[in-house]
Structure 1
Amino acid sequence: MTKSITDEAISALYRSLSNGETICIVEFGCSSRPNTFLSVSQLIKTIREECTSNGQQLPEFHVFLNDLPGNDFNTIFRLLLTFHEDLKKQNMRSGHGLFDPPNCFVAGVAGSFYTRLFPSKKLHFVLSSYSLHWLSQVPDGIENNKGTIYASSTSPSSVLKQCVSLYVGAFGHRAQRLGYREIKYIVEKEGSFTIDLLKTLEHQMDSSCEGYNEAQSVRAVGQPLLVRHFGGDDKLMDVVFNKCKDIYANIMAKEKNIFTNVIVSLIKRND
């Protein structure tokens, strides 16, 4: 759903750079699965197409993959050989020839994007999908948020204000997947970025899987957090997420459920 948006953003960036300039890309929340490199591969493919159409040489890429220190970076590094082989094949098909060594250099960066991770003016393009809405620290006064496990309309105003202040204060490193009012407010208050594009995309839950896919999606992100906070093993997590699956199935049997995604593309201010 976001491919056309990221393609246009990386193309506009490339056209604004000097010919031959190394392009530095970071992905926040990279995880450690085979699809870790999908977004990066697509960005490089888009720039390759730009180079082909303009008769230019493909630039070098410096890619930083970021996640929390507990992420399995060893798995990512073991996947690098396959990633580079795929790039070589793509380059051959496009007429750019083989690169030995490859012109894409990858580094892992462990740490919370709540903190400073890179030197000033180091990065050209920052990408994150389904990561920036996670807080890396617990808001003060969260114990007053009784009856729900997230910030909702029933939450005390003190809890809502604290959550918003955390997102605003950290926006130099991250964004929050919220609604339009909230996104514009955070961007304008922080002041480092202008909004290039802001839109919503919707898709419906898959009722045919009876909640399995939704529960597995939650498990992929939620299990490490639950185990770290409460303890437990895979057997216990099976029980938790089987219950989660049943809850999803029950909800989907009663009503039409839509996921709403807020997509935002930002450009850093020069002033």
Structure 2
Amino acid sequence: MARVLHVNGGAKEITYAKNSSAQKQILFLAKPFVEEALHEYFGGTQFPEKMIIADLGCSSGPNALTPALEIINVVHAQCQKRGRRLPEFMVFLNDLPGNDFNDVFTSLQQDFFSKLTEEEQCRVAGVPGSFYGRLFLSRSLHFVHSFSSLHWLSQVPPGLDAKSGAIQNKGKVYISKTSTKAVMDAYKQQFMTDFISFLKSRAEEVIPGGRMVLTFFGRMSKDPTAEEGFNHHTEMIAQSLMDMVFEGIIPEEKVDSFNLPCYAACTEEVKEIVEDEGSFVMDHLESMEVDVVDFEGDNVLLSRGERVARMLRVMLESILGYHFGMELMDDLFARHVDVVNGYLPTAYCKFTTFVLSLTRQ
């Protein structure tokens, strides 16, 4: 995962930078929770001279620097309101090593530093690595932000990957109506393992009273096979892959040995993990629906299916291409376009997103 997973960046024809309006919506929806967490933090007795901010899963493109700017703006407003001196800021941008950090650093001057005031003194550094382990010094972080990242798992659930030998999820790439209980349990257990590791790692790094605001894909239903947006799109990808198997383009065992390393949890699962791990107090857990159809930028003239397929492609192509071959990705996502345009109801273009706000005890 650390070596393969990344959104499409660089000079690719279909990039995350041009197909990330869904993530922009998520940032907008999460903004009130970020503001509230910062208001509550600065409303207490603590008022740091230096503020360390970590953005986990920063990705690249136009959204990469937005959270840090918004956090600094809110802190600036709080300092003015309370007659306090503005702290110096240190912003750490984290993602897996395959992320296009070059794009992020190239855009720093235009998209970040040029938007800061003279008072807002800030340093920025990139921190490559998985957030399912330690990344920062003990008790060093005041505020942690992460959006559209924690639904990714650290690995394919054990027993489902290609190395296991046994076929557990035949013809599918994620949990579906035909998946066995063993498949569902494997996904849930891997999410629990990863989320606990995330919380334990951040518990070492976040100061007492420090805050975290996390957004990630989830599901409304307790049933992991429920007919919701995320499940529908993974089901359609599996359908397109099996069509390619039928046409002799892909060996069937290639599909049988592939499972997406992600999980859309329900609110009950998230609450249980946070409460059982015990390092953080859960201030808020909100669920909302986000329309993933991109109506902005270069995509205004594209069909609904083309918009949806592009949004999924920039997120999933690195993994799908690694397993099935990059030369097959045009064919695969062209089929996805046809399925969405022909069959998918508009309602299924909406993904459930969680916003989780936490305080370090």
TM-score when scaled to structure 2?
A: 0.65
The corresponding residue for 2:130 is 112
Q: Any idea what SS the aligned residue of 1:16 has?
A: coil
The corresponding residue for 1:256 is 347
User: What's the offset of the Cα at 1:41?
Assistant: 0.8
Give the alignment partner of residue 198 of structure 2, picking from 157, 168, 173. Answer: 173
Give the letter aligned to residue 151 of structure 1. I
The corresponding residue for 1:163 is 187
> CA separation of 1:17/1:42 partners in 2, compared to 1, >3 Å: closer, same or farther?
farther
Give the alignment partner of residue 84 of structure 1, picking from 113, 117, 120. Answer: 113
Please give the per-residue CA displacement for 1:128-176, whole angstroms capped at 9, x wherever unaligned: 1111100121211114122431134543233333322222223242677
> CA separation of 1:17/1:109 partners in 2, compared to 1, >3 Å: closer, same or farther?
farther
Larger displacement relative to structure 2 (186-195 or 168-177): 168-177
> CA separation of 1:18/1:243 partners in 2, compared to 1, >3 Å: closer, same or farther?
same
Give the alignment partner of residue 93 of structure 2, picking from 65, 77, 86. Answer: 65
Distance 1:163 1:17 in 2: 42
> CA separation of 1:104/1:17 partners in 2, compared to 1, >3 Å: closer, same or farther?
farther
- The alignment status of 1:29 with 2:57, answered yes or no, reads yes
The corresponding residue for 2:20 is none
Residue pair 2:283, 2:357 contacting (<8 A) in 1 also:
yes
Distance 2:32 2:127 in 1: 27
Give the letter aligned to residue 339 of structure 2. I
Paired residues, what number?
255
Structure with bigger RCO (C-alpha 8 Å, 6+ apart):
2
Larger displacement relative to structure 2 (127-136 or 188-197): 188-197
Distance 1:66 1:190 in 2: 23
Distance 1:8 1:245 in 2: 40
Give the letter aligned to residue 244 of structure 1. H
The corresponding residue for 1:6 is 34
After TM superposition, the structure 1 = structure 2 runs for residues 121-200 of structure 1, keeping only pairs within 5 Å, are 121-142=139-160, 143-152=167-176, 154-170=178-194, 171-173=196-198, 177=218, 178-200=265-287
The corresponding residue for 1:230 is 324
After TM superposition, the structure 1 = structure 2 runs for residues 214-225 of structure 1, keeping only pairs within 5 Å, are 214-225=308-319
Unaligned stretches of 5+ residues in structure 2:
1-28, 161-166, 200-213, 219-264, 296-302
> CA separation of 1:196/1:155 partners in 2, compared to 1, >3 Å: closer, same or farther?
same
Q: Any idea what SS the aligned residue of 2:359 has?
A: strand
Distance 1:190 1:151 in 2: 26
Please give the per-residue CA displacement for 1:220-241, whole angstroms capped at 9, x wherever unaligned: 21112222333325xx433222
Give the letter aligned to residue 358 of structure 2. L
User: What's the offset of the Cα at 1:197?
Assistant: 0.3
Larger displacement relative to structure 2 (135-144 or 173-182): 173-182
Distance 1:267 1:172 in 2: 17
Distance 1:63 1:173 in 2: 19
> CA separation of 1:73/1:213 partners in 2, compared to 1, >3 Å: closer, same or farther?
same
Distance 2:315 2:30 in 1: 20
Q: Any idea what SS the aligned residue of 1:63 has?
A: strand
Distance 1:66 1:185 in 2: 27
User: What's the offset of the Cα at 1:251?
Assistant: 3.4
Give the alignment partner of residue 333 of structure 2, picking from 221, 227, 241. Answer: 241
Please give the per-residue CA displacement for 1:80-119, whole angstroms capped at 9, x wherever unaligned: 21211111xxx2xxxxxx25xx611111111111222122
User: What's the offset of the Cα at 1:248?
Assistant: 2.0
CA root-mean-square deviation: 2.4
Distance 1:135 1:243 in 2: 26
> CA separation of 1:120/1:20 partners in 2, compared to 1, >3 Å: closer, same or farther?
closer
The corresponding residue for 1:267 is 359
User: What's the offset of the Cα at 1:206?
Assistant: 4.4
> CA separation of 1:9/1:156 partners in 2, compared to 1, >3 Å: closer, same or farther?
same
- Runs of 4 or more above 4 Å deviation: 204-208
Please give the per-residue CA displacement for 1:156-212, whole angstroms capped at 9, x wherever unaligned: 233333322222223242677421111112212222222110111124464984222
Q: Percent identity?
A: 38
The corresponding residue for 2:288 is 201
Residue pair 2:95, 2:127 contacting (<8 A) in 1 also:
yes
Residue pair 1:168, 1:189 contacting (<8 A) in 2 also:
no
Unaligned stretches of 5+ residues in structure 1:
92-97
Give the alignment partner of residue 55 of structure 1, picking from 64, 74, 83. Answer: 83
Residue pair 1:199, 1:263 contacting (<8 A) in 2 also:
yes
Distance 2:104 2:291 in 1: 31
> CA separation of 1:215/1:86 partners in 2, compared to 1, >3 Å: closer, same or farther?
same
